Structure 1
Amino acid sequence: MKVTLERNHLLKSLGHVHRVVERRNTYPILANVLMSATAEGLDLRATDLDIEVTETVPAMTGTPGITTVPAHTLYEIVRKLSDGADVVLETDGNEQMQISSGRSRFHLQCLNPDGFPDLKSGAFTHTFAIPAETLKDLIERTQFAISNEETRYYLNGIFMHTVDSEAGVVLRAVATDGHRLARVEAEAPKGAAGMPGIIVPRKTVAEVLKLLDGIEGEVTVELSDTKIRFTLGGVVLLSKLIEGSFPDYERVTPKNNDKELVINRDSLSRAVDRVSTIASERGGKAVKLALSPGQLELTVTNPDHGTANEELPAGFDLEGFEIGFNARYLLEIISQIRTENAVFLFNDAGSPTLVREEGDTQALFVLMPMRV
């Protein structure tokens, strides 16, 4: 095969596909990117057997052909070539590829493309188009709560499903690690109603979020019980779904929390960040919130270094109340609040706390307390 293409186009596409390739693989072919030169351009495909990313790069094809070369090495070579330069990719049989640009020449070992795996998609039962900004919002505001605990594999992703609400059918994204829960919803796109509840894996979520960067318009989503496929900006990402049942998150979502705190989001975030400076791992990174009418006091105690405290004006008009939280978890939830004020709804010091945006019901967050 022989193709000529612009370095920036090739670099951008390699940047999309090479990220799914694991640096350590049991099968050497999985470290490679499949390259197929056709009259339409150069097709690139990479997979880790769970995710497959495909993209076509504009190219002048001199000789059609197909081969595979090491993905990360090729990406690094192209990244270091001159901006805007032409790149020529040429193979002689299937043993080596020559990469030429200006006075630079590289030769990479090829592997036979016959052994490259195909992550077959099968039949999709539901297809819908969702605005890129909406999908990005659903992912960004729930991703932080995905569990890293491999034993509870069904929590290692974002649960997506449709729900009938008073406003109509909504598409809801939920993630939890048992310490905090994020639930965000948007109007369900046409074709999404009745879709199966699916768990999109953590790695897939991260890759889709990167691909959404700078994308406008709509993203096509196709799904079945076992696979999901995103088509966005000329890139196709196919992924397996996590098998298993996501827990009934409604059971841990507080319904009767009646102690309400309304507080400026930015002031609270800065104050928590300041006092948590002296928090220790031994102390669990805990910050204590002491509420009294019109005031919130934050306190962190470190057995090795001392204490820190700060007072803030707050909308709270009940009797004194104290509760503790993991400072990092609290900051992560505050960072997802988009309104000027955050609303905290408490029950007691040992029960989950509900956090919402002022006047908005599309996003809610649940935070488990700590003993302080």
Structure 2
Amino acid sequence: MKLSIERGTLLKALAQAQSVVERRNTIPILANVLIEAEGAQVSFRATDLDIEVVDRADAMVERAGATTVSAIMLHEIVRKLPDGALVNLSEDGASGRLTITAGRSTFSLATLPKEDFPVMASSEYATNFSAPAADLRRLFDKAKFAISTEETRYYLNGVYLHVSTSEDGPVLRAVATDGHRLARIDAALPGGAEAMPGVIVPRKTVNELRKLLDDDEAKIAVSVSETKIRFATPAITLTSKVIDGTFPDYTRVIPQHNTRRLEVDASEFARAVDRVATVSSERSRAVKLSLDEDRLVLSVNAPDSGAAEEELAVAYGDERLEIGFNAKYLLEIASQVDRENAVFLFNSSGDPTLMREGNDTSAVYVVMPMRV
């Protein structure tokens, strides 16, 4: 194998591949990236056996071939090369080494046989459709903060992507919850996705996928089976196993009859919560909301560290209410609001609270209260 490639192009392709690789590996080949050069293209494939990413880039291929080399080491070398450098990669097979040259720099890295590299079996995908990158980014970005980190409830360690029905008809829906807060985000249902099986996309996949979704104009080809999901652009293909479990019936925890309505400037509210939470105890992070007519008082009383209070002018016309929340949960939910105003719907101080952006029901959040 022998090829030349521009440093920036190589770095971009390697960045996605090396981020999939686990830092601590008991299987040496999993620390490597599979480099395959043919025609006028080179591809970089990395896997942790649950996720596989293939990144393709244009290159001047002098001699076709394939090899595997440490993904993190190669990425570090290329990252430290000067901008605009032309990088030459060559491997003759006999030496078992990959030689990297750029300008006056030469590196030689140990390789492992390409035959040992595990390639994820391609499954039969029941559903294939394409969706705008902006829609997918919104679905996953707004839901992922609520993914559970509790390993025992593994079926909550991801985003539940499925087809559902809203007031406006069928939608592609993403849901995440950790039992304390819940996010439910809807997007227009792409053509061809109607029969998609509901799948739980793991947290790591959601984070890796974000790198594919930066281009608002891009269309992402999505393929879904009962056990795998694949996202593809012309340059990158990300394939992932889905979580083998049943996502709970989230509709039961979304309150339907919360009538006490608070409307508040979202960024002003987030800043005020952040300020008063400064004195809250690290363990509970409790903030009390006291609501009266067109007035909200945020307060914290932590015997060990102090007290804080801040008043906001809001739109509220129902009876007086005092309710407590974990400040971290309030801040995370408030930070999802793209519009100016956030609307909170309460029932009582012991019931779940609903939050949405103005009158938009395509993004709905639920947060459980706490005693303060």
**Where does residue 322 of structure 1 map in the other structure?**
322
Secondary structure of the 2:197 match is coil
Distance 1:5 1:291 in 2: 62
Q: Which residue of 1 aligns with 2:30?
A: 30
| Displacement of 1:258 | 1.2
Residues of 1 paired with 2:132 and 2:242: CA distance? 22
Mapping 1:1-372, distance limit 5 Å: 1-93=1-93, 95-214=96-215, 216-282=217-283, 284-372=284-372
Code of the residue aligned with 1:196 in structure 2: it is P
SS at match of 1:200: strand
- Is the contact between residue 132 and residue 216 of structure 2 (CA under 8 Å) also seen in structure 1? no
- How many Å separate the matches in 2 of 1:194 and 1:362? 21
Alignment size in residue pairs: 371
Q: Offset at 1:136?
A: 0.4
Q: 2: CA distance between counterparts of 1:210 and 1:85?
A: 24
Residues in 1 aligned to 2:217 and 2:11: alpha-carbon distance in whole angstroms? 21
Question: 1:154, CA displacement in angstroms?
Answer: 0.4
3-state secondary structure, aligned to 2:348: coil
Please report how far the alpha carbon of residue 234 of structure 1 lies from its aligned counterpart in structure 2 after TM superposition: 1.1
Q: For 1:200-225, what per-residue CA distance to the aligned partner results, in whole angstroms no more than 9, with x for missing partners?
A: 00000000012212452210100100
Distance 1:229 1:65 in 2: 26
Compared with structure 1, are the counterparts of its residues 256 and 215 closer, same or farther at alpha carbon in structure 2 (3 Å cutoff)? Answer: closer
- What SS does structure 1 have at the residue aligned with 2:315? coil
The secondary structure found in structure 2 opposite 1:142 is helix
Q: Offset of 1:292 from its aligned partner?
A: 0.7
Task: Give the TM-score normalised by the residue count of structure 2.
Answer: 0.98
Do the aligned partners of residues 166 and 271 (structure 1) sit closer, same or farther apart at CA in structure 2, a change above 3 Å counting?
closer
Contact 1:16 1:211 in 2 (8 A): no
What SS does the corresponding residue of 1:110 show, helix, strand or coil?
A: strand
Q: CA deviation at 1:23?
A: 1.0
Matched to 2:78, the amino acid is V
Q: Percent identity?
A: 54
Kindly provide the amino acid, as one letter, of the partner of residue 311 in structure 2.
Answer: E
1:149-177 superposed Cα distances (whole Å, 9 cap, x missing partner): 01000000000111133422100000001
Residues 203 and 162 (structure 1), Cα distance of their counterparts in 2 relative to 1, 3 Å cut: same
Q: Please give the alpha-carbon distance, in whole angstroms, between the structure 2 residues aligned to 1:321 and 1:43.
A: 59
C-alpha contact (below 8 Å) 1:219/1:230 kept by paired residues: yes
Distance 2:82 2:275 in 1: 45
- Consecutive unaligned residues of structure 1, counting only runs of 5 or more, are none
Distance in 2, Cα, partners of 1:360 & 1:166: 11
CA contact (8 A) 2:18 2:33 kept: yes
RMSD: 1.0
